[in-house]
Structure 1
């Protein structure tokens, strides 16, 4: 079973990071997940808080000065065979902040039990619209093109999970799925994965976090971290996903 969760997107002030991360870690430690992909683990402090509560897992990540590169970490109960990190491009933009934020995004590729697992976090679209004329569209297209190249270099079976920050049904994601031949573990019916409570009035939550597979069969898939904690509220502004997968009879790509 594989799971994914963007762990951090709460306001810094008053977010109770230490306690929230302890709760997230406890939930994963008690779950049947064998591999957990997490995003926005931005510092080594974040990483330690999760690792302390997940003693049956080992963490894979690319070290950087402040913390795991790209904020992406893969926790695995299975032996880790290899790990590499691919920084995603940040195309030129008139807005320096977009160039910098895009520069910090990447994909972590970990080999576990003969399966390639990609943990990715794309640039957040703070405008909340995904038309071709939107300022985030060129950056997202370039990042998905680079991610498609990463996937093309992998043999089947493989799993791609993470926070794409683009709704599943938008053309950019559909083009990515067509190019990579990846299959949505939820069969295109994934529930919204961003907490409605954290959206501005009038905006509707959509599915922006995915579990995508090749060479694997989905036995079950579900949304997790839906409920509020009695003392902490929601543990993240994202919901998590998990899926039970098995090897299919398809040949390596």
Structure 2
């Protein structure tokens, strides 16, 4: 897809992968509607911020209405990036933490995607990109809640692409390994470090996927740091 002038919505745009992706797409000519709880310290004439809490259906619907009223209804892409994880032993996981992860990581995708799909199907093109995690392909000790949400993202993506592919709409699920972001602020067992992938690395993958030819469809993409513990010495 040619990105010049195309409208792309990005959730979780305040920092990390979302902000890096917004910057990358803007550099390539896109118009970005950034949905997030906090406005990033970033300015660009084609960047438009809409305060949004993806846990709330009402908040998402308001953001959608404001976005289309200001920027038009022809939405070329939606990047469902908002998400977080809280570690804990299964029997010790707080119910409110479990529910909050599902509301953001799973319900948020449902609330956002259901609004853009009718227009994409009508216009005959569009791209939904869901950011899962390698936690969506395996189990991780003391991360059962987060893994459950990211497995759900995988299931949504796998089902949805089969529903909409014949309308010309793509659905891609990306499974990153460790990325140096604030995600690990709530994970005591892991400290973010420079050997992890960078948010800009994931943004480059998203750019590549969006720019692919119309009849070429990336369904699942797993990405990991090559040397997560640094270069091994001989």
Q: TM-score, normalised by structure 2?
A: 0.45
Name whichever structure is richer in strand by fraction: 1
Q: TM-score, normalised by structure 1?
A: 0.42
